[in-house]
A = this chain, B = another copy of it.
């Protein structure tokens, strides 16, 4: 991550006329072996294409391998049914539409939901197993090999008014993080089915035919050599987002620079977005990202109260952690405390440690220690407690009643969840504008022939951190990766 403004600029393609000889020729070349690249490559291969994946790291995996591996499926999967959850495609669509955010592509949302059961089967076909179990505790991901969780805002107000709550986060059957298992399964599947992989192969340049603007290949640096590799059907950019590229963050999404921990892999350097832009692709939604500060587990923390520097609540604490974090930045100006009492605080079970801003015997002392205006925190907690004790409801922010209990076991503590003091992590949600087929669009809305993108290199299924659910990146990236793979291979889209 050097500090060079040109790192935020498009990378220009090389003219095909300048290529003296090609070092290899394939139907489809996939750049980057995360979940989107793997899904694209496997589908293209299954459609009969010769497929090469170029991965800049020593082995495929990408951001997905570093993740817990949750995938967002619904509409009545085997796992949902086994655990007694009734979902429907319409119900799933109602939630995903909200979760994708206000700038989402309605066609991508529709296709993703309509093909969800088949998309689950795709993972099964790659040897990935899912246990028929539901993990009830509210977690970032199950520490066990259990599968199904509520991974987003399904149960949280106001989303609960849009669709019937059903869990849709499906973690592959592996204890704890399942991202590596997921990716190793895709690597094995692709190799077994005759795909070719080159690791430590860095692609910095597309090759374009000057006459018709078609992308016809790439220049890849392999073993110190720059090789020209031809792609007859298309090049698919699945290089991830740009959270590791400080210059791109500064140019496009400066607020994400405040989050000190990038979520992704070293490959999330924006190289594919820059190459796509250089070939005339339009980068959209570039100012959006997901931010998170994971204040649960323990579950008891959800029964705490999130307050701003004025002692007021600003969001229901049972939202998805990304939505809460967005609210801390936009509604609370980046400064927030989680107020817990002795019954709720659980240092042992903390997913990540937060600085303890203050511990006091009374709420009045606590607000004084925190610099909150006199009486404000006392009022917030007392009003909440009164409603909790009498009705068991949260009339102000509609936190689900299961989390609503009075805070009345001193001492009281304030965990500091502020952006500048705590663990805040982020990834980007902007990228190349694509059709649902993965074809990259120019700023004029025209297809750039031969060029495809999927995953976080594209503006995909989900466009807003405020609405996001875990599993939508891997879910959307793999689904539209499959669409791109099939289209580049000349096969009809998924589901047709």
Residues of A within 8 A of B (CB): 9-10, 12, 102-103, 254-255, 277-278, 287, 310, 312, 314, 330-331, 373-376, 379, 383, 387, 395-397, 443-445
Chain B residues near A397 (CB-CB < 8 A)? 310
* A162 smallest CB distance to B (angstroms): 15
* Contact (Cβ within 8 A) A444 B375: no
Option from B9, B103, B278, B445 in Cβ contact (under 8 Å) with A9? B445
The distance in angstroms between the C-alpha atoms of A273 and B277, with both chains bound, is 19
Option from B278, B312, B331 in Cβ contact (under 8 Å) with A330? B331
Nearest 9 CB-CB pairs, A to B? A373-B395, A331-B331, A373-B396, A310-B396, A312-B312, A379-B379, A10-B444, A9-B445, A330-B330
**A12, A278, A287, A312: which has the most chain B beta carbons within 10 Å?**
A312
The distance in angstroms between the C-alpha atoms of A12 and B376, with both chains bound, is 58
Chain B residues near A102 (CB-CB < 8 A)? 254-255
Chain B residues near A314 (CB-CB < 8 A)? 331
Chain B residues near A12 (CB-CB < 8 A)? 444
Query: Across the two chains, which residue of chain B brings its CB closest to A103?
Result: B254
* A10 smallest CB distance to B (angstroms): 5
* A26 smallest CB distance to B (angstroms): 29
The distance in angstroms between the C-alpha atoms of A110 and B13, with both chains bound, is 36
The distance in angstroms between the C-alpha atoms of A310 and B255, with both chains bound, is 28
Option from B103, B310, B383 in Cβ contact (under 8 Å) with A375? B383
Query: Across the two chains, which residue of chain B brings its CB closest to A393?
Result: B373
The distance in angstroms between the C-alpha atoms of A443 and B282, with both chains bound, is 9
The distance in angstroms between the C-alpha atoms of A359 and B10, with both chains bound, is 58
Chain B residues near A278 (CB-CB < 8 A)? 444
The distance in angstroms between the C-alpha atoms of A168 and B102, with both chains bound, is 37
Query: Across the two chains, which residue of chain B brings its CB closest to A288?
Result: B287
Chain B residues near A9 (CB-CB < 8 A)? 443-445
The distance in angstroms between the C-alpha atoms of A387 and B330, with both chains bound, is 27
Query: Across the two chains, which residue of chain B brings its CB closest to A281?
Result: B443
* Contact (Cβ within 8 A) B330 A10: no
Chain B residues near A375 (CB-CB < 8 A)? 383
Option from B10, B310, B376 in Cβ contact (under 8 Å) with A443? B10
The distance in angstroms between the C-alpha atoms of A9 and B445, with both chains bound, is 7
The distance in angstroms between the C-alpha atoms of A335 and B287, with both chains bound, is 25
A9-B444, A373-B383, A376-B383 known, 12 other contacts, Cβ within 8 Å: A9-B443, A102-B254, A102-B255, A277-B443, A278-B444, A310-B397, A312-B312, A314-B331, A330-B331, A331-B331, A373-B395, A374-B395
Chain B residues near A331 (CB-CB < 8 A)? 314, 330-331
Chain B residues near A374 (CB-CB < 8 A)? 395
**A9, A102, A254: which has the most chain B beta carbons within 10 Å?**
A9
Enumerate 14 A-B pairs (CB-CB under 8 Å) in ascending A order. A9-B443, A9-B445, A10-B443, A10-B444, A12-B444, A277-B443, A312-B312, A314-B331, A330-B330, A374-B395, A375-B383, A376-B383, A376-B396, A379-B383
The distance in angstroms between the C-alpha atoms of A331 and B312, with both chains bound, is 12
The distance in angstroms between the C-alpha atoms of A10 and B445, with both chains bound, is 9
Chain B residues near A10 (CB-CB < 8 A)? 443-444
Query: Across the two chains, which residue of chain B brings its CB closest to A11?
Result: B444
* A433 smallest CB distance to B (angstroms): 11
Query: Across the two chains, which residue of chain B brings its CB closest to A312?
Result: B312
* A142 smallest CB distance to B (angstroms): 32
Chain B residues near A312 (CB-CB < 8 A)? 312
Query: Across the two chains, which residue of chain B brings its CB closest to A327?
Result: B331
* A308 smallest CB distance to B (angstroms): 9
The distance in angstroms between the C-alpha atoms of A445 and B8, with both chains bound, is 10
Query: Across the two chains, which residue of chain B brings its CB closest to A12?
Result: B444
The distance in angstroms between the C-alpha atoms of A312 and B397, with both chains bound, is 12
Chain B residues near A443 (CB-CB < 8 A)? 9-10, 277
